Amino acid sequence: MIDPASVAFDIDGVLADTMRLFIDIAREDFHINSIRYEDFTSYDLADCIDMDPEVINAIVTRILDGNYRAPLKPIAGASQVLKRLGRYHRPILFVTARPYVGPIRDWMQDVLKLGSDSIEVVATGSFEDKADVLLESQVTHFVEDRLETCFYLHDLGFSPILFKQPWNRKRHPFVEVSTWRELEALIKF
């Protein structure tokens, strides 16, 4: 069982359904209708989808900047579990490899319906730099969707929990969850 004070979370692919937003932006703004969620079999999008790299970069930039019309939705169940977690420990720590926080923090507060003092969002700019934030915060468990980050954190002594996604379907030794309800069952409330 995981102590609520010792767990932190990635954002994209764990809390935010960013890949579905990517598909929506591709369809609505670039008229690309051939991409399915299951096509994202690699964290590096250019490796798994047939799309001009400049278009990929344009869509990713829109996501980071909050410059899109389609709604960014949370992964099902995230809001309920995080609200419950917030009753036991605050602030809930989110560590992202995004280069800057941008509008994602405001989106999170709106979606989670938690006060501004209930969440802490740290943008590191790289997956390697997540470890320093976790060490400083005395976090032992990190919920992540990028398999390579899980291996990296594990080698540094953390206990990663892999949030199952099409892009992390390789063999691994980590605890894996497919839903926020499964994750909730691992937390000692």
Residue 112 corresponds to which tokens in the numbers above?
């989670």
pLDDT tens digit at each of 189 positions of the chain: 999 999 999 999 999 999 999 999 999 999 999 999 999 999 899 999 999 999 999 999 999 999 999 999 999 999 999 999 999 999 999 999 999 999 999 999 998 888 888 999 999 999 999 999 999 999 999 999 999 999 999 999 999 999 999 999 999 999 999 999 999 999 999
According to DSSP, the residues that pair with 73 across neighbouring strands are none
Angle subtended by helix axes 53-65 and 18-30, to nearest 10: 120
Q: Do 118 and 105 contact (CB within 8 A), yes or no?
A: no
- Please tell me the pTM assigned to this model: 0.95
Angle subtended by helix axes 104-112 and 78-86, to nearest 10: 80
Residue 165 corresponds to which tokens in the numbers above?
């996604």
